Amino acid sequence: MILILASLNGVAAQTPEQAGLSLAQEANQRDSGFGDVSVEMLMILRNPRGQESTRRMHSRILEVPSDGERSLILFDDPGDVRGTALLTHSHSNGQDDRWLYMPAAKRVKRIVTGNKTGPFMGSEFAFEDIGSQHVAKYRYRLVGEEACGSTTCRISERIPNDSDSAYSRQKVWTEKLSLSPMKIEFYDRKQSLLKTLVFEGYKQYSGKYWRADRLVMTNNQSGAVTTLIFNNYHFANGYNPRDFEQSSLGAGQ
């Protein structure tokens, strides 16, 4: 099957795999170059019985040219998690590096590859969901296009190259004009729908970068839901790689 896609130079013939890869590359290109960003977050955990708990945290992200991103998530509230920190070094190729600082034990724990599929701080987000989803870590296929609320989305499948991933594949809805993700379905190793992530309330920053102010991750198998609400995005903070070193964890962030 060949998809015929209009281009500035006429008509370009692409396979679904080529078209899916091109879409991912263009979306990545548009979101590159922001430098660094900080944001405040509210995490709302709702279990299958409808009971809720909340956690407040803040995050810092730094782009690292040619090697992905560095990110640091710090928990502020409630008291039993205050001071907990997750440091992630996302790499464009190869395994990401993750460290979790537990203030009660005053120690840093490395999240090994086999544990990255586990839940992040009791949420429906796995450790592997935290951080950037770099293009080279997946194989792609464009599968179609459909109405997406008041807009139109392109739909693609991406298959993790990492055999240790919890997911056999992911189905991604990308807004046609901004190329922002609107929804992702995560399928487990048995090819059953495991989780659905919905992005809401997009706003544009610095005249270029689109960021959602709410992410809702639903576990389709258990019924549990985790909502992340983002406030006070701030770009150009002047961060550098030294702010994202393992040795800085627990040093009064």
Say if residue 78 is preceded by a cis peptide, omega within 30 of 0.
yes
Q: Looking at residue 102, what DSSP letter applies?
A: E
60 located within any domain: yes
Query: For residue 162, what is the domain's CATH number?
Result: 2.50.20.10
Q: Does residue 253 belong to any structural domain of this protein?
A: no
Distances 227 to 44, 56, 84, 198, 216 between C-alpha atoms, Å? 5, 12, 19, 10, 4
Mean pLDDT by 10 residues, the chain (253 residues): 40 83 95 94 97 97 89 94 93 87 88 82 92 89 94 96 93 96 97 98 93 97 98 95 85 52
The boundaries of the domain holding residue 124 are: 3-248
**Res 12: pLDDT:** 56
Count up the domains in the chain and report the number: 1
CA distances from 215 to 181, 183, 191, 212 (A): 11, 9, 23, 7
Which two tokens mark 181? 């993700």
In a domain, 239, yes or no: yes
119 within a domain of the structure (yes/no): yes
Q: What is the pLDDT of residue 9?
A: 42
Q: What is the pLDDT of residue 251?
A: 56
Q: Provide the residue count of the chain.
A: 253
In a domain? residue 240? yes
Q: What pTM, to 2 d.p., does this model score?
A: 0.90
- Is there a domain that residue 197 lies in? yes
